[in-house]
Each structure stands twice: as C-alpha cells, then as structure tokens.
Structure 1
Amino acid sequence: MVSGRTEVQVRPGSEADLDALTEIYNHYVRETAITFDTAVFTARERRPWLLSHPEDGPYRLMVATDADSQAILGYATSSPYRPKPAYVTSVETSVYVAPDAGRRGIGTLLYDALFAALAGEDVHRAYAGVALPNEASERLHSRFGFHHVGTYREVGRKFGRYWDVAWYEKELG
C-alpha cells in the first residue's frame, strides 16, 4: 500500500520487533483508555505476550512496517478469547497503530493480513472489545464485518473515571 509517499508492508511479528511493539503499546497505556492496562511494560515483561503469537495457528501477530525505514507502524493480533477449552475456536482481535501513523489505512492493512492468515485455521468467531468512545475502531470493525453484540457499562476505571466497552463479533468459519 502507498499512503502519502510511504509504502507499508505487513508481515508476521518477530522477537526483533519487541522493543518497538512495547513502545507502541505503552503509548496507549499511558495516554488512552483504549487498553485497561494502567502500568507500562518493559520489553522483557512483554516477551511472553509476543511469544504467545507464533507465525502459524490461530494466535497471530501481524506487524506493519515502513518499507524504506523498516520502522514499525502498528500491529494486529488474534489471541485466545477465554482460557477454557470450549473457547478454543474463538479469538479476540486487536489493532494498535503507532501514534504518528494514524489515518493512513494501517489498521485496515493489518486486519486484511490477520484475517487472511486466519482463513485456514480452525477459528469460528472473532471478538473485539472497544473502549468507548472510539469511532475509528468502531468503523474499522464494522468495515470488517464485525457486528455489535453488546456494551458493558462502566466496566473499567482508568484516569479517574469509568469507561464502557462495546463488544463486536465476526463469523470466520
């Protein structure tokens, strides 16, 4: 994809990406209610998360990079929805874009690649939680065929206030 003058490539994530991925995530921890984590992570603390997303299987990590500089512009994941065995064919998806890379279609590229990678997997449903308000995320999920299935009211407290989370569902197989 060409956005402005920058070509973007999407590939599976690797351990070499850990520092940049941690930096992107920590921005959302510090500055937004998009994640309900409240303390930043070191790369070492985030390593188990990264390793839980191999290049194959239903739990993936896709990374968008600037084709020239190889700077990481964002990432998307599919992760276990819940830990109990009957949930194994459901995944929770998420997208995080670097703060200076928004509004360039990177989230769309990442979800395109993520869902293409999941196409051959034994995954029946994808779920996404969106802390509200977040119109960009709601639009992205709608564009990818997610349907709103409910909203948890004031389910998380961060920055001294309560936040709602809208839940979306997408049929995969």
Structure 2
Amino acid sequence: MHIRKAKVEDAEQLLALYTPYVKETTITFETQVPSVQEFQSRIQTILDKFPYLVAEEADTILGYAYAHTYYDRAAYDWTVELSIYVDTKKTQVGIGNALYDALEEKLTQQNIINFLACISLPNEASICFHKKRGYKQIGHFKKVGFKFGQWWDTVWMQKSLIKEEKDG
C-alpha cells in the first residue's frame, strides 16, 4: 500500500468509495451523492490549503483522508477537522491508520496543533479508532443531523499537540 497526495483526476474513484457512505450510512450527513465535477472542486479547494491523501494499491484507491477548515476565522488557523473514508470492503486492515499517520505528520509540518473529528452516532468503530490514536471526546451534540427519516447525535473528538499544564 502506498500513501500519496490526491489528484483532481482521482475524483471518480474517490466518489465511488464515498457513494455507499452517502446512500447507506449516517457516517456522512450528506444526503445526495455529489457529481464528479463537485468532487473535483472539493479536492482542489482542499489541496489549495491542506493535505488530501489517498491509500493506493495496484492503481486502486483503498481509502482517502483529508483536513479541512474547522472554522473560517484567523484564531482557528491551528485547528482542522479531519475526514476519512475507506473502501467498505477493506476496513480493519490498517488503511485508516496509515492515512491518519501521514495526514497528521503533514499537518504537524504545517504547524497545525489541533485535530478534530466529528463522528455521528452510533459508530463505535470510529470512536475506538480515534481513541487508540489519542483523541478524546470533547463534546456530544444531540439530534443535530437528520437523515433516513430520523435525528442523529454526533460527538466531537480532539487530539491536541499542545502540552496541557498540570494543576498545582
């Protein structure tokens, strides 16, 4: 498996990986599958500022991960939200860890010090994945996403490279 920078030309393969998440899960709250052109635009917009990485083997993309702006204010320039999608038939084989290792390393080189993940519930696999990587739950939002005819909760998890001061 090889991790590399995404290209706009990857949009069709990336969209093929993303589509089942849109149609069958609440892992994304997107309700309509975007067009290839929309996905190309998203890739380019992210690449203009942050890493967008793919895991590839034998010219087949197995997963992808990227960072995007958490909140568009200068005070938040050291904080990003991460997103990751792995081929639904290839989970639990290390693709996610390889992508996050590379993504976090590149973001650290950009002086990013806070990584955030917004996870819809239930999603124990994602919560465990993030906990193992040092993320801590920092918020729980009730019934904030509506998909498949019902309301869903989300949790926010954070990994910070800022050393916490000890009390006393």
Same topology, TM > 0.5 = yes
Q: Report the alpha carbon displacement of residue 145 of structure 1 after superposing the two structures with TM.
A: 1.1
Q: What stretches of structure 1 move > 6 A for 4+ residues in a row?
A: none
| Cα-to-partner distance string for 1:20-63 (whole Å, 9 max, x where unaligned) | 111111211111000000001111011221002228x5x21110
| Cα-to-partner distance string for 1:101-157 (whole Å, 9 max, x where unaligned) | 112111111101101111211212111100011111111111111110011011101
Residue identity opposite 1:47 in structure 2: Q
Alignment of 1:19-98 (within 5 A): 19-54=12-47, 57=49, 59-66=50-57, 69-98=58-87
Q: Which segment drifts farther, 45-54 or 154-163?
A: 45-54
Aligned to 1:153: 142
Is the partner of 1:53 in helix, strand or coil?
Answer: helix
Kept in 1, the 8 Å contact 2:9–2:40? The answer is no
> How far apart, CA to CA, are the structure 2 residues paired with 1:18 and 1:46?
6
After TM superposition, the score normalised by the length of structure 2 is 0.91
Is the partner of 2:13 in helix, strand or coil?
Answer: helix
Residue identity opposite 2:35 in structure 1: T
> How far apart, CA to CA, are the structure 1 residues paired with 2:128 and 2:6?
25
Task: Confirm or deny that 1:13 pairs with 2:18.
Answer: no
> Could you say what the CA RMSD is over the residues aligned between the two structures, in angstroms?
1.3
Pairs aligned (count): 162
Aligned to 1:3: none
Alignment of 1:120-135 (within 5 A): 120-135=109-124
Aligned to 1:143: 132
After TM superposition, the score normalised by the length of structure 1 is 0.89
Unpaired runs of 5+ residues, structure 2, are 163-168
> How far apart, CA to CA, are the structure 2 residues paired with 1:153 and 1:109?
31
Q: Report the alpha carbon displacement of residue 84 of structure 1 after superposing the two structures with TM.
A: 2.2
> How far apart, CA to CA, are the structure 1 residues paired with 2:74 and 2:29?
25
Q: Report the alpha carbon displacement of residue 87 of structure 1 after superposing the two structures with TM.
A: 1.4
The percentage of counterpart residues that share the same residue type is 36
Is the partner of 2:10 in helix, strand or coil?
Answer: helix
Unpaired runs of 5+ residues, structure 1, are 1-7
